[in-house]
Structure 1
Amino acid sequence: MQTKESYLSNGSREPNNIEYNFSDGKTAKSYNSSWQKPVTYLSLVLLGASVSFTGSYLGSQNKASSQPSISQASIVPVTPKLEAKLPITADTNFVTEVVDKVGPAVVRIDSSRTVKNDMPAVFDDPFFRQFFGSQLPGVPRERVEQGTGSGFIINSDGQILTNAHVVDGVDTVTVTLKDGRTFKGKVLGTDPVTDVAVVKIEADNLPAIRMGNSDNLKPGEWAIAIGNPLGLDNTVTTGIISATGRTSSQVGVPDKRVSFIQTDAAINPGNSGGPLLNAAGEVVGMNTAIIQGAQGIGFAIPINTAQRIASGLVANGKVEHPYLGVQMVDLTPEIKQRINSDPNSGLTVDEDNGVLVVKVMPNSPAAKAGLRAGDVIQKIGDRTAADAKTVQQTVEDSRVGSNLQLQVRRNGQNVNLTVRPGAFPTAQQ
C-alpha cells in the first residue's frame, strides 16, 4: 500500500542502521547493537547471499603459458547440468504462459481511511481565539489517506488474499479486476502478526490462482511477481528464489512471525499482497516487504503460512498465536564471551549449548512459569533446543493454554518448568 506518510520513520540516519520499506511505502528501521543484535523476539513477536548463476562458459588459466590473460583456447564449455533442471532452455515464453494463465486472478486493491489531525488544545481556547481569530491556521480536523496494493483471488466465490497492512483499519476497499470490473470489498479478517488478510467480493465464476507448496522451494528456482507497483497495473517482474527461511529479525520486522522467502524479482510500493509464482504458475508466496536502498532484495510470505492463516481468518475473523514472552538468542561461544565480558548485561552464562533467555516480559506466560533471564533452554516439548528457531516453531505449533514442558540449565543445575503459552497480544486485542 502506498501512503503519503512514512511508518515508524525517523528523518535522521544513524550509524549501523538499516531502513526497511514495506512494499506499500511504509518504512521501519532496524538498529544494530553489540551482543544484543541476534536476539530473537519470542515475546513481542515470536520471530522477531543471494544465489547467482554462472555463465555457460568457464575460464581457466593455461598453466603452460606465461601470459597473464586467459587465452581463447583455455575457455571450454561447461556441461549444462544446471540448464537441464530449469523449466526452459533458451526460450522464455514460459513467463508469458504463466502471466496469461495467472494474470486475470491478480487484482488491484484501493483503500481509504479517515485520520484525525492532532490539534493543539490552545487553538480551542476562547481566550486565545479572541486575540488571533481568523489568523489561526486552517488545519482540517480530519484527512483522508488513500493507498493502493495488490491481491490475488484464491477461489471462484471471490475470496482474495492480500497483506494485512494493505487493508487493516481502512474505511473502504475497492477491488479492480484485470478486465476492468470493480467491486466493493469486505475485509473478513486481518492478522498483523503474519501480515495476512482476506478480502471478499460478491462475484461468481472468478478466475482463481493455483496454490503451490512453499515448503519445497529451493534457492535458484524461478520467481515471477505480478502486482500494481507505483500505480502501474499488471506489472510483471522475474527473478529467482534467493533464499528461504529468513527470520523476521533478519528482515528487520521483528513484530512479524514469518519465515520469509527472499527473491530478487523486482518488488516496489504497490506490490504488497501480490503473488510470487513459480515456473508452473503456482503461487508460492505473497510479496510484502523490501529493503530501501538495496537492489534485488525483496521478501514474500510463504503461501503455506498465508493459507493457514487465511483459513483461520475466514472461519473466525482472527487467528490466535501462542507466545511465551521472552527474548532469546542462540548460545554460541562468541555470544557467551560477549555477555560474560559485558558488565552491563546483568547475566553470567556457564553453558556452551542451547538457547539463552535474555529477557522475560513481566506478567508473561514465561514469567508465570518461573523462567528467568540467564536460563539456557536445553529442551522444549519433545525437541532439543538446538537454536532459537526451533524454540519459536515449537511454540507456534502449540496451542494457547496448553502445557509445554521446558528443560533449562540454571546455575549449573537442570530445572524443569511447565509453561502455558498465552495468546499473542496485539493492538486489536
Structure 2
Amino acid sequence: MKKRDRYLTGILLILIGVLVGTILTMYQQGNWINDQAEVKFTEVKKSERPFYTDEELSNLDPRFLFKQVAEEITPTVVYIETEVSVGRRDMPDDGNHDGDLFDDFMGGRARTVGSGVLISKDGYILTNNHVIDGAVNGGIRVVLNDKRLFRARQVGSDPTTDLAVLKIDGENLPSIIIGNSDNVDVGEWVLAIGNPFRLRSTVTAGIVSALSRQVQVIDNQMRIESFIQTDAAINRGNSGGALVNTSGELIGINTAIASQSGNYQGYGFAVPSNLASKVARDLIQYGEVRRALLGVTIESVDAFRADQLDMNRIQGVEITSLREGAAAYQSGLKIEDVILSVNGIEVNEANELQEKIAVLQPGEVVELEIWREGEVVTKSVKLQLMENEIAQNTTNQLSDPEYERYQDDDSGSGDREVRFFSFDLGFKVMEISSSDENEPTELIISEVERGSEAFMKGLKEGYTIKKVDDEKVEDLESLKDLVSQSLNRSNSIVLHIETNDGAKGFYQLNKN
C-alpha cells in the first residue's frame, strides 16, 4: 500500500471514531431525544383576595357596581306565564309587546310569557297589563328566582299606562326598593332585569338614552306615555321587568321596544317608577286607578308658537281649551296660558305634563308656574277626580238599588226591567230583562266588594253569569236559588262567566 493511501485511511478512521463518539455522548446525555432543563422547584402564586375589592372598584367607576346590584335585584324579578284563550290571538305582534304567543295550542288556549317585580314582602307584583291581558281563570303562574312556583291572582290593571298588579300568597319574599324617577338623568347607568326569550333572570346594562318619550305603543285613547328610554338590551319577555339604577332602586318598568325586526335594536322604553308606583297603590287600595284631572287640552310649545306668544325661549305646554267647571277653570287658568312647571319641575312636552299630573291624587293641590302675557305667575290648582263619563251615565241610568224600568230606545223592543241583588260572597248582580220574550235575560256583575271572597278570586264588574256549577241560570231568582243550594251543600260555588269580548271562565268562591 502506498504511503499516501495509508495516511488517508488513517484520517478517515479518525473521523469515523470522532463521529461515533459524538453520537454516543449525545445519546447518553438525552440530547438526541429531548433537550430538557432539570427543574427542582416551581412556585405558583395564588390569592383568595382580588387585587381590587368591589368597594375600591366602585369608587373607580359606577359600572363596577353592576355585580352587587344584580345580586340584590335579581331575586325580586319574577317570571310570569299566562294562559289566554285562543280568541286572544289578536294580541299585537308589532315588536313593541313581548307576549310570545306559542303555536302549540292546547284545549283552545295559548301561553304568553313576561316578567314582573315584587314590590312587597307579602307578594304584590307589578307588571305590564299586556303580559296578563286576557288570562283565563287561574291561568297566571309566577316563578321566583329560586324556582318556587305560585298561582297568581289579578288585583287590577290599567290599560292607559299598560300596568297591572298581581298577588301571590307568600311571606318574607324579596322585594325591590322603588326610587324617584324624577331624579333620573340622561346618561346615567342602568340595568334591565327580566326574562327575554324565556331565559330566566337575565341582566343587561346600558344608559338612560332619553326621558319623556312618547312612542304610541299603548292602544288606549286615554293613554299616558312618558317613557324612560334606554339602550340596555330589552327583548320579548322583558316586559314587566325592572329597570334599576346603580343604587339598586327601581326607576322603571320595562314595557316596550322600538324595532323593525321584533328584537332589540338599541331602543327600549320603561314606565317611570313614580307613575308605576302610583298606579300600583291605587290598584291595591281601590281596585282601580283614581286619576287626577286638571281639565285642560294642551299642546307643546314650538318655535313658531313661542314667537307668537312673545316668549323669551321655547318652553312649556300651552292650554288650548278649558273644561268648564273643571279644576283649571275654577282656579283661574286661561286659554293661551303656558304651563312652565309642575310643583317646581319643568315640563316642555304635553306628555310630560300628563305624567306629572297622573302621579298625583285627586284632591291634591298642585303649584303651576304659568307664562301669561309676558309675565310668569303661579297658580294653585286643586285637582279633581277623572271619571269615565260613559260609565257614569250608565250608572246614573241604573241608580236604583233594587228595581228600575227604562226604555231601550236602541232596540225598540219596549220596556226593560232592571233589578239588583247583593250576594254575601261580595258581589252584586244586575238583572236586565225585557218584556219582549225574544230578548234573553242578562245577569251582569255590577259591583265587587273590595277585600271580599269574590274580589280575592278575581271576579270583575261587567262579567255575565251563565251557570252556577253546571246548572244554567235563567233569571235572578234562579241564580239566588242555585247559589243558596250550592253553598248549603258544599260551602262553595263555581260561577261560569263570560266577558265582554266573549272569553269564558270559571270562578270558585268559598263560603267562610
Specify the TM-score bucket, using the shorter chain as the normaliser: 0.5 to 0.7
Q: What do the CA deviations read for 1:224-252 (whole angstroms, capped 9, x no partner)?
A: 111111222211111112223x14x3565
Map 1:255-334 → 2, pairs under 5 A: 255-293=222-260, 295-323=265-293, 327-334=297-304
Change in 2 beyond 3 A, CA 1:325/1:182: same
User: Separation in 1 of the partners of 2:86 and 2:326?
Assistant: 35
Change in 2 beyond 3 A, CA 1:230/1:117: closer
| Aligned position for 1:198 | 165
Across the aligned residues of Structure 1 and Structure 2, the Cα RMSD in angstroms comes to 4.6
| Aligned position for 1:155 | 120
Shift of 1:190: 1.2
Q: What do the CA deviations read for 1:26-61 (whole angstroms, capped 9, x no partner)?
A: xxxxxxxxxxxxxxxxxxxxxxxxxxxxxxxxxxxx
Q: What do the CA deviations read for 1:364-413 (whole angstroms, capped 9, x no partner)?
A: 959998x9xx9423469998998554754675476658999999989xxx
User: Separation in 1 of the partners of 2:206 and 2:148?
Assistant: 30
Query: Which has the greater radius of gyration?
Result: 2
Question: Which runs of no fewer than 5 residues in structure 2 stay unpaired?
Answer: 1-55, 90-104, 374-378, 393-512
User: Separation in 2 of the partners of 1:221 and 1:405?
Assistant: 29
Shift of 1:149: 0.8
Check the 8 A contact 1:331/1:352 in 2, yes or no. no
Change in 2 beyond 3 A, CA 1:367/1:174: same
Shift of 1:334: 2.2
User: Separation in 1 of the partners of 2:252 and 2:217?
Assistant: 18
Check the 8 A contact 1:117/1:143 in 2, yes or no. no
Q: Which moved more, 1:302-311 or 1:325-334?
A: 325-334
User: Separation in 1 of the partners of 2:255 and 2:215?
Assistant: 15
Change in 2 beyond 3 A, CA 1:87/1:380: closer
User: Separation in 1 of the partners of 2:63 and 2:382?
Assistant: 54
Query: For 1:423, which of 381, 386, 390 is the aligned residue?
Result: 386
| Aligned position for 1:51 | none
Query: For 1:188, which of 143, 148, 155 is the aligned residue?
Result: 155
User: Separation in 2 of the partners of 1:239 and 1:153?
Assistant: 22
User: Separation in 2 of the partners of 1:382 and 1:272?
Assistant: 30
Shift of 1:183: 0.6
Q: Which moved more, 1:379-388 or 1:98-107?
A: 379-388
Shift of 1:144: 2.5
Change in 2 beyond 3 A, CA 1:323/1:186: same
Alignment partner of 1:376: what SS? coil
Shift of 1:320: 1.6
| Aligned position for 2:402 | none
Map 1:126-165 → 2, pairs under 5 A: 143-165=108-130
Identity of aligned residues (%): 36
Alignment partner of 1:236 is 2:236: no
Change in 2 beyond 3 A, CA 1:180/1:426: farther
Shift of 1:274: 0.4
Shift of 1:104: 1.7
User: Separation in 1 of the partners of 2:88 and 2:226?
Assistant: 36
| Aligned position for 2:336 | 376
Q: For this pair of structures, how many residues does the alignment match?
A: 304
User: Separation in 2 of the partners of 1:149 and 1:94?
Assistant: 26
User: Separation in 1 of the partners of 2:164 and 2:88?
Assistant: 27
Shift of 1:288: 0.8
Shift of 1:285: 1.4
Change in 2 beyond 3 A, CA 1:399/1:303: closer
User: Separation in 2 of the partners of 1:324 and 1:285?
Assistant: 25
Check the 8 A contact 2:295/2:329 in 1, yes or no. no
Question: Which runs of no fewer than 5 residues in structure 1 stay unpaired?
Answer: 1-84, 119-139, 338-349, 411-415
Check the 8 A contact 2:322/2:329 in 1, yes or no. no
Question: What TM-score, normalized to structure 2?
Answer: 0.49
Q: Which moved more, 1:394-403 or 1:216-225?
A: 394-403
Change in 2 beyond 3 A, CA 1:351/1:209: closer
User: Separation in 2 of the partners of 1:218 and 1:307?
Assistant: 19
| Aligned position for 2:411 | none
Change in 2 beyond 3 A, CA 1:223/1:382: closer
Q: What do the CA deviations read for 1:64-113 (whole angstroms, capped 9, x no partner)?
A: xxxxxxxxxxxxxxxxxxxxx99454796532322222212211011122
Change in 2 beyond 3 A, CA 1:92/1:403: closer
Map 1:9-20 → 2, pairs under 5 A: none
| Aligned position for 2:65 | 94
User: Separation in 2 of the partners of 1:91 and 1:364?
Assistant: 51
